[in-house]
Amino acid sequence: MTETTPSIEAFIAALPKVELHLHLVGAASPSTVLELARRHPGGPVPSGEEELRAFYAFRDFPHFAEIYESVNSLVREPEDIVTLVTGTARDLAAQNVRYAELTVTAHSHQRMGMSKAAITEALDVAARASVADHGVRVGYVFDIPGEYGAEAARTTLDHALSAPPEALVGFGLAGIEQERPKYRDAFRDAFRAATAAGLHSVPHGGEMTGPETIWEAIEGLGAERVGHGISCVRDARLMAHLKETQIPLEVCPTSNVRTGQVPAIASHPLPRLLEEGLFVTLNSDDPPMFATTLNAEYGVAAHVFGLGEAELAALARNAVRASFLDERAKREIIGEIDQVCAAPGR
């Protein structure tokens, strides 16, 4: 690894990027959340900016999940979904993000009273607007909120298969990992049906539990990428498997610290994952809730872990290659990354 330079921030800002691990509700900027709170007053989410920042001080992961659900309760109408997606695209465009795969918990929106058709139409409208207005291409991942069990698996799968948005590319599983074993068969069945229909398998695993959750994501759910995956460092056999198969990990350093999965950023396993030759991508997860951005995550990799421009560019290329973009689009973005790296003075 190389030392950072004063120009590293400029390099990060100029670097074309892809974001693979980004939850739609968690990506809502404070201004977007406040806009939704004004539309739907009387809920648990504060209506002032300072109060909202304090609201996002998480004690642990269950508390984070509780706050996330409170923000989700503001998403009640199709217009709210459009606001979320296009607001996220605006924020990503400012960071030179070319493409993002947004995780959508459609089950939660249905619980707020929206129909499958209304949710899908809003996602379609928003994806088109994101490209037209901000130049950011969007893919969607429908994820099962794991703690809601078999019913959430059925609802999510039904929506994905019977009324999918045009940009739906993946099928995921998130939420409280400790709840998964009791619903294992239901989750496996849902993933089997989703992948048979052509969707990519991208479950979370090894964020708040041990390597066994990552093994289940790979062997039970057919994971093509793993969300987080950081507890793999506890299992030498799993590390060897991930190195051999090059299954990408969607690593989100600041998120892991803010939800209490890692005690401090300096102790995050990112450097070891890279040293061991695993396929790593950098992501922001729920950036405004964690007071971060995708650019800031690249900054952490540079300033905390000492990655230089070549290593940062390699991470950016990894995200492109691990995405579900078509090959032509991948080549175009990688070409843009290469141009930035080859610029005079680099």
Q: Are 204 and 173 in contact (CB under 8 A)?
A: yes
The residues near 78 (Cβ < 8 Å, ≥ 6 apart) are: 114, 118, 119, 121, 122
Share of the chain above pLDDT 70, in %: 98
pLDDT score of 41: 84
What is the token pair recorded at 110? 């249905």
What per-residue string of b and e applies to 78-102 under the rule 16 or more CB within 10 Å gives b?
A: bebbbbbbbbbbbbbbebbbbbbbb
Residue 5 placed within a domain: no
DSSP state of 309: H
Three-state DSSP class for residue 280: strand
pTM for this one?
0.93
The answer to the question of residue 240 being in a domain is yes
In eight-state DSSP terms, residue 199 is P
CATH of the domain at 37: 3.20.20.140
The structural domain count of the chain equals 1
207 an active-site residue?
Answer: yes
The answer to the question of residue 336 being in a domain is no
Q: How many residues does the chain have?
A: 346
| pLDDT in the model for residue 4 | 43
The CB density around residue 236, as the number of other CB atoms within 10 Å, is 11
The CA distance from 45 to 73, in Å, is 9
Instruction: Choose, from 207, 250, 309, 336, the residue flagged as catalytic.
Output: 207
Low-confidence ranges of the chain (pLDDT < 70): 1-6, 346
Flag whether 176 is in a domain.
Answer: yes
Domain membership of residue 188 (yes or no) is yes
Q: What is the pLDDT of residue 32?
A: 87
Q: Does 314 map to a domain?
A: no
* Average pLDDT over all residues of the chain: 94
Beta bridge partners of residue 140, listed in sequence order:
102, 168
pLDDT tens per residue across span 142-179: 999 999 999 999 999 999 999 999 999 999 999 999 99
Would you say 116 and 34 are in contact if contact means Cβ atoms under 8 Å apart?
no
Residue 346, pLDDT score = 66
Q: Which pLDDT belongs to residue 3?
A: 45
Host domain of residue 94: 17-296
In this predicted structure, what is the pLDDT of residue 1? 43
**Is residue 316 one of the residues assigned to a domain?**
no
Domain annotation covers residue 342: no
